[in-house]
């Protein structure tokens, strides 16, 4: 099976005896000489080099290639899979792996021969913008693997065609034309594109189509791709976008609700940019605006029904018919003055009834309300919550000056901090109750114009200071417990009710020590003021009686002994320096003068 066209010119031996050779005798010619003569008729090849050979046989498994050597080489047919047009007689490059294996067979590889020159060919193809062939081997993440010159190149899914590919498997096993678009020399990565071959033609086609476009023109197209923000439509070589807001007059959350892939639809051209080759399309514009078909008899005050389509913090949009929406502001959802989030009242998908508050057909705006479906509680506030009536309210929130409560939805009131307790001095409302708790109240005043009620809690009970006035007379002694210590003095909780206050000098005990928190001691009342709800107490006064009496006598009588048996004893009332002490002296003097 040698190819004699490749046999080199060999000079005959000068002393070769042809007669002996023909008679079967070659005694004058050695075996080595014969082998040498034969070898010289063959190509000189070296292992691990690339040579050119000729295909002499092809079957499903093997391709036999002759390179002018003493035996032919057999190469797996899979190495020629990239070239389905291979035929007998074609010249191919092969890599000599072994001149003679264990079976005496010449071992060749077409794949390695291609690899040795593949990078040169790949770089040349990219530099010259050449079109090359490749065999698509398999799918991979994001695209396909293509055999190009024996190198595995990556074909991104977006570069297979100008149209989105939904079935990648249909391309596996195909031989296609490609352009090399990117090479990474360091990592020997190659990216190819089939889409690039047809884009140039499409570009010219786009220019031609766009040059004939006009705004308002209606065209038929095919839905090419659906995204979250709109639909791409193929207009016959050029794509346009129907934004999601232009699909329908009503709100669309997903474009799949309106169109389907490969669907034929009519669209209107809204705008286009010849330079950027962008075309804005509309679908809803092919139908009349729903506001134009709104019932002409609909007016402010009418009741309408609709579906909540959008919720925001400030309100809810209700669709009363496709494309016609009204806004229910959060302030129109409840008579309550506590503005809350609209999500607390309504949810998307809710079917609601509402009252039309305003209607502007020209601006295509409508405002609605749902609180108007209920009676305004302030219209009959005097009848339902008259002054002096008692109710249970819910604590809404605190301020430094009081508690805001809600008697019912839309009816709020304020309990001033001074109206919480007759006896306890409340520094902050949180000491008295908690948000969300129920509290009993009495209506003190109604401010209908500002929609506020003045409420009281302590008024539920009788004023204990009327009783305290009789109990805590100046000079009387009562038992009390020190419940709070401050720099200015101490708060004393009295056994018979109420609280009093003693300054530090009035907390001195008989042994000279200072009274401490939690001690229970006797206290003398040195001042009582009902209007300001104040009781001034002294522990030291309970044991100082008589000690300073001579001083007091001299102070009031200029040294004369004016005391008689019938004259009541004044228990050192003048020893203190408070105004309350002076008041007591004056009262005693008046009693003496009246002969009491």
Tokens of 63: 């391709």
Backbone angles phi, psi at 507, to 5 degrees: -105, 5
Q: What integer pLDDT is reported at residue 12 of this predicted model? A: 60
Calpha distance 52→69 (Å, rounded): 12
The predicted pLDDT at position 566 comes to 39
pLDDT at residue number 146: 92
Measured distance CA(569)–CA(563) in Å, rounded: 9
| Bridge partners, 143 (sequence order) | 140, 156
Closest CA to 364 of 293, 278, 455: 293
For the chain, which domains are there?
4-113 (2.40.50.140), 129-198 (2.40.50.140), 213-286 (2.40.50.140), 290-372 (2.40.50.140), 377-460 (2.40.50.140), 464-542 (2.40.50.140), 549-593 (no CATH)
Phi and psi (nearest 5°) for 331? -70, -15
Could you count the other beta carbons within 10 Å of the beta carbon of residue 317? 20
Sequence-separated (6 or more) residues with CB below 8 Å from residue 48: 95, 96, 97
Q: What is the pLDDT of residue 503?
A: 92
Instruction: Measure the CA–CA gap between 178 and 189, rounded to whole angstroms.
Output: 15
SS3 459: helix
Q: Give the model's pLDDT for residue 582.
A: 46
Q: Tokens representing 385? A: 């919550």
pTM of the model: 0.41
Give the containing element (helix H, strand E) for 384: helix 381-384
Beta-carbon count within 10 A of 194 CB: 20
Structure token digits, residue 322: 């496709």
Q: Which two tokens stand for residue 576?
A: 């203190």
Which residue shows structure tokens 């669309």? 252
Contact 111, 79 (CB under 8 A): yes
* Beta carbons of 153 and 146 less than 8 angstroms apart: yes
- What lies within 8 Å, CB to CB, of 413 at 6+ separation is 393, 404, 405, 406, 407, 441, 443, 452, 453, 454, 455
What is the pLDDT tens value at each position of the chain, 596 positions in all? 444 444 445 556 556 566 555 555 444 555 565 555 445 544 566 667 888 889 999 998 899 988 887 778 888 888 888 788 888 999 888 888 877 777 777 888 888 887 777 788 888 888 888 888 899 999 988 899 999 887 889 999 888 887 777 788 888 989 988 989 898 888 888 999 988 887 767 777 777 777 778 888 888 889 988 998 999 998 877 888 999 988 888 888 889 988 998 899 999 988 887 666 788 999 988 888 888 878 888 888 889 998 998 888 888 899 888 888 899 898 888 877 666 778 878 888 889 999 999 988 888 889 998 888 887 787 878 888 888 888 888 888 888 888 888 888 778 888 888 888 776 777 888 888 888 888 888 888 888 877 888 888 877 777 777 788 888 888 899 999 999 898 889 998 988 888 889 999 899 888 888 998 999 999 999 998 877 788 899 988 888 765 554 443 333 333 333 333 333 333 333 333 444 444 545 555 555 555 54
Instruction: Say how far apart CA 3 and CA 380 lie, in whole Å.
Output: 119
Is residue 313 within 8 A of residue 330, CB to CB? The reply is yes
User: Cα dist. 270→215, 233, 264 in Å?
Assistant: 6, 14, 19
Q: What is the pLDDT of residue 501?
A: 92
Q: How far apart are CA 429 and CA 426, in angstroms?
A: 7
- C-alpha distances out from residue 134 to 124, 152, 179, 234, Å: 15, 9, 10, 29
Task: State the Cα–Cα distance between residues 471 and 494, nearest whole angstrom.
Answer: 11
CA distances from 358 to 331, 355, 362, 375 (A): 15, 9, 12, 19
- b vs e for 220-243, b when ≥16 Cβ sit within 10 Å of the residue's Cβ? ebebbebeeebbbbbbeebbbbbe
The rounded radius of gyration (Å) of the Cα atoms in the chain is 55
Residue 526 to residue 552: CA distance in whole angstroms: 17
Residues with Cβ within 8 Å of 87's Cβ and at least 6 positions away in sequence, in order, are: 55, 58
Determine the pLDDT at residue 574.
35
Distance between CA 151 and CA 147 in Å, rounded?
Answer: 5
DSSP codes of every residue in 274-322: TTTTEEEEESGGGS--GGGGS-TT--TT-EEEEEEEEEETTEEEEEEET
* DSSP H or E stretch at residue 197: helix 195-210
Q: Is 413 exposed, middle or buried (0-12, 13-18, 19+ CB in 10 A)?
A: buried
């Amino acid at each position: 099976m040698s190819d004699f066209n490749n046999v080199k010119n060999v000079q005959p031996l000068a002393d070769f005896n042809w007669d002996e050779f023909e008679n079967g005798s070659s005694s004058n010619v050695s075996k080595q000489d014969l082998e040498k003569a034969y070898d010289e008729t063959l190509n000189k090849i070296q292992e691990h080099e690339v040579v050119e050979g000729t295909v002499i046989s092809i079957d499903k498994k093997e391709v036999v290639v002759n390179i002018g050597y003493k035996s032919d080489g057999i190469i797996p047919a899979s190495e020629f899979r990239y070239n389905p047009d291979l035929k007998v007689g074609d010249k191919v490059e092969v890599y000599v792996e072994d001149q003679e294996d264990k079976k005496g067979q010449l071992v060749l590889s077409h794949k390695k021969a291609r690899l040795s020159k593949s990078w040169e060919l790949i770089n040349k193809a990219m530099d010259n913008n050449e079109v090359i062939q490749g065999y698509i081997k398999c799918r991979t993440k994001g695209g396909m693997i293509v055999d190009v010159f024996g190198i595995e190149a990556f074909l991104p899914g977006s570069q297979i065609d100008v149209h989105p590919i939904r079935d990648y498997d249909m391309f596996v096993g195909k031989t296609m034309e490609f352009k090399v678009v990117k090479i990474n020399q360091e990592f020997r990565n190659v990216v190819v594109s089939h889409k690039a071959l047809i884009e140039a033609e499409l570009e010219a086609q786009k220019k031609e189509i766009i040059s004939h476009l006009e705004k308002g023109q209606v065209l038929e197209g095919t839905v090419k791709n659906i995204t979250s923000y709109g639909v791409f439509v193929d207009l016959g070589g050029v794509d346009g976008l129907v934004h999601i807001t232009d699909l329908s007059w009503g709100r669309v959350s997903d474009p799949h609700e309106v169109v389907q892939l490969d669907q034929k639809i009519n669209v209107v051209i809204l705008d286009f940019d010849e330079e950027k080759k962008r075309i804005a399309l509309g679908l809803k514009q092919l139908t009349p605006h729903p506001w134009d078909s709104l019932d002409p008899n609909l007016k402010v005050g009418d009741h309408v029904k609709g579906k909540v389509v959008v919720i925001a913090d400030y309100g809810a949009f209700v669709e009363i018919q496709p494309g016609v929406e009204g806004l229910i502001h959060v302030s129109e959802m409840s008579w309550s003055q506590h503005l809350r989030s609209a999500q607390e009242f309504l949810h998307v998908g809710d079917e609601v009834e509402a009252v039309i508050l305003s209607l502007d057909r020209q601006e295509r705006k409508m405002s609605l309300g749902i609180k108007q479906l209920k009676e305004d509680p302030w219209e009959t506030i005097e009848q339902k919550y008259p002054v002096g009536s008692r109710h249970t309210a819910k604590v809404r929130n605190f301020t430094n000056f009081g508690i805001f409560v809600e008697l019912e939805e839309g009816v709020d009131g304020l309990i001033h901090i001074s109206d919480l307790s007759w006896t306890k001095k409340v520094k902050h409302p949180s000491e008295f109750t908690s948000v969300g708790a129920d509290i009993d109240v009495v209506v003190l005043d109604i401010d209908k114009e500002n929609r506020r009620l003045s409420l009281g809690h302590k008024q539920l009970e009788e004023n204990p200071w009327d009783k305290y006035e009789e109990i805590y007379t100046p000079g009387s002694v009562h038992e009390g417990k020190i419940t709070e210590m401050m720099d200015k003095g101490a708060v004393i909780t009295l056994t018979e009710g109420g609280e009093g206050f003693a300054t530090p000098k009035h907390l001195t005990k008989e042994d000279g020590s200072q009274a401490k928190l939690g001690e229970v001691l006797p206290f003398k009342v040195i001042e009582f003021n009902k209007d300001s709800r104040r009781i001034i107490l002294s522990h030291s006064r309970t044991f100082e009686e008589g000690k300073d009496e001579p001083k007091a006598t001299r102070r009031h009588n200029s040294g004369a002994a004016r005391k008689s048996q019938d004259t009541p004893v004044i228990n050192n009332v003048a020893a203190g320096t408070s105004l309350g002490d002076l008041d007591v002296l004056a009262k005693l003097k008046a009693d003496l003068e009246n002969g009491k």
